[in-house]
Chains A and B, each alone.
Chain A
Amino acid sequence: MTRILLRDKLDNCVARWRKAGLTVIGPVKKETFSSYAAVENAAELDLSMIMPDRSIKGLFFPQTEPMLHYTIKKQALDIKDFTPPPEKRIIFGARPCDASGMAIDDPLFGWDYKDNFWFQRRNETVIVTIACTKADDFCMCTSLKLAPDSTKGSDVMLRPLQNNRGWLVEELTDRGRDAFNEIADLLQDGSEPEASIAVVPEKFDLDACVTWLQKTENFESTFWKEISMRCIGCASCTFLCPTCHCFDFQDEGDTYSGIRRKNWDSCSFALFTMHTSGHNPRATQSARWRQRIMHKFNYFPGKFNVNSCSGCGRCSRQCPVDMGITETLQAISTLQP
């Protein structure tokens, strides 16, 4: 049996979830900037945007996070671990590309060492995704073999009904079912006509790109220099990306005491690969851009069998010099394999 969540019940749902001890997080638009943020009522949510400027990555993998506190004493070392305080959360209105980004990163954070910071937050969070009814020029999920209504990574998928009336509820995981049982009496049985899902044209032939990337001789292709000439080497693409996951450890404090933090890091920084000797194996910006593309579409799928890109298009949308994955892969798909 299908169930429907009507839009005018949303405020009650938010209140109910909050009463049940969940932090409700959703897309919020401020004057000049949008992101996923905690809300107190449904009026704060802005479900009309194509997607917030920032992805949901930061909710699981914060831009900076203390790992441990150290104190070095005479012949003794005191270490105090930080663990994220338990916090049950529900993200209402995630985009399918954001949700799938988290699923893409799961194997990475758990293949060898199991990253507790990531998994504790993953387990404590219910992701309620709303399928997209609109897209912009930068959206490219279909090119990544995903779709504006992919359920990957979501705990619950909501399919918008016509006339903005509400959503058809599709529970995908136990976590999702539990959260929606909480509001069961606010849901309504039955079915209503669904709104049409956004049309996202395919922008490049992913398979052709991957074949080209996998050819060793293309590693040294002049293509990389040409395509990345205008790259200024900032990290806005990697930091806004829902799947980019590189981090750096940084000790803040002094020799005797301080805090070890885990901070986002980016392969587009020259310092990312700088050796202590001063040698930098990725000395040029083109080598760094190549690394980003190769990692996402060649190395990562080689290890985890999934592309490290969910097609949100933030890299292109927000690039100061109008670069991005779309342009690069479009260019690659026109090259001879």
Chain B
Amino acid sequence: MTIQETYKTRAKELLSSGRVKMVVGYKAGSTPDRRRPHFIRTPEEADRLILDSACIANLSGYLITEGLLSDEKSVGIFLKPDGVRSLNILAAESQLNIEQIVVLGFDVNNNEITALKGEKAEDFSTLIESLKEHVPQTPGNPLLERIEAMNAKERFAFWEAEFSRCIKCYACRQACPMCYCRRCIVDCNQPQWVNTSSHTLGNFEWNIVRAFHLSGRCVGCGNCDRACPVNIPLRLINAKMAHEVLGAFDHFAGMSQTQEPVLASFKKDDSETFIL
């Protein structure tokens, strides 16, 4: 049986046994290479489920849809390891009760899809630990390396050009499972810290604030990057910050549901070489 068929059967079992009230998965999109989120509430709806190597969106953000989990019933969800990590962060930041989530795990590597064993987020902890162990020393992204080799002026000019075309549609924020604030900092206007206008200055500020708020929380799922209608390489900034946080505080986001948020915790011997 293909992975898709196995999981279809699994989704149907979960629904018909009443174990979950809904399974969040994928279905066919408007073109052959697109997949769209699929909310399955009956075993029949599970027939339209698709699971293949094109299923790369991180769906975990839908779990915090207002009211979805408030009846304390369980919800099943298809997640790759990055999705499980964001699920862990949501639990660690008290955004949901992880006991209500049944994970249908899978992974996509080099266009190959594999099933992952386990159904609770914690069942994947060994896998996530090994992900942390295998983080490459250098991010290995040619563009990132190019930016790092620049001087400050050139870097500024690079980002100025990228951000100048931002239209502030906030697709990056809305697509991100970690951006769950009821009222985003840019939407707060007493005081208005960040310019809401989409001139380059406002775009610069917005993108700095977004990246800062995701530092040590981003799992690198790429939702923001794929969502951006003007193709700003947002993932680079997040990847860079994840790398910093791992290097400075040995923090790999989303290890467990009890992991302390890196910027809400400290060690007395944290590095402070830069402080005068």
Contact = CB atoms under 8 A, between A and B. Distances in A.
Interface of B: 29-31, 34-37, 39, 57, 61-62, 165, 167-171, 173-175, 187, 192, 195-199, 202, 223, 226-227, 229-231, 233
Contacts of B30: 137-138, 316, 322, 324, 326-327
Contacts of B34: 322
Interface in A303-318: 316, 318
Interface string A197-233: 0000000000000000000000000000000011011
Contacts of A263: 168, 196-198
Interface in A246-260: 250, 252
B167 A239 contact: yes
A271 interface: yes
A232 B223 CA distance: 12
Chain A interface, >50% SS class:
loop
- Report, nearest first, the 10 A-B pairs whose CB atoms are least far apart: A320-B227, A234-B171, A234-B174, A322-B36, A235-B169, A64-B197, A32-B231, A232-B174, A230-B37, A236-B229
A230 B175 contact: no
A33 B165 contact: yes
B173 to A, nearest CB: 7
Contacts of B57: 321
A333 B196 CA distance: 38
A201 B29 CA distance: 18
Chain B interface, >50% SS class:
loop
A282 to B, nearest CB: 14
9 contacts: A53-B229, A63-B167, A64-B198, A64-B202, A229-B39, A234-B171, A235-B169, A321-B37, A322-B29
Nearest to A274: B187
Contacts of A266: 169
Contacts of A261: 197
B63 to A, nearest CB: 13
Contacts of A233: 174
Given A234-B173, A316-B30, A239 B229 contact: yes
Nearest to B37: A230
Nearest to A226: B39
A297 B168 CA distance: 26
Contact of A234 (B169, B199, B226): B169
Contacts of A120: none
Given A33-B230, A54-B230, A232-B175, 8 more contacts: A64-B198, A233-B174, A234-B174, A236-B227, A263-B197, A264-B198, A320-B175, A322-B35
A32 to B, nearest CB: 4
A232 B61 CA distance: 9
A63 B169 CA distance: 10
Interface in A102-138: 137-138
A250 B229 contact: no
Contacts of B62: 230
Given A64-B199, A327-B30, A234 B230 contact: no
Nearest to B192: A252
A225 to B, nearest CB: 11
A286 B170 CA distance: 18
Contacts of A264: 167-168, 198
A240 interface: yes
Nearest to A138: B30
A213 B219 CA distance: 42
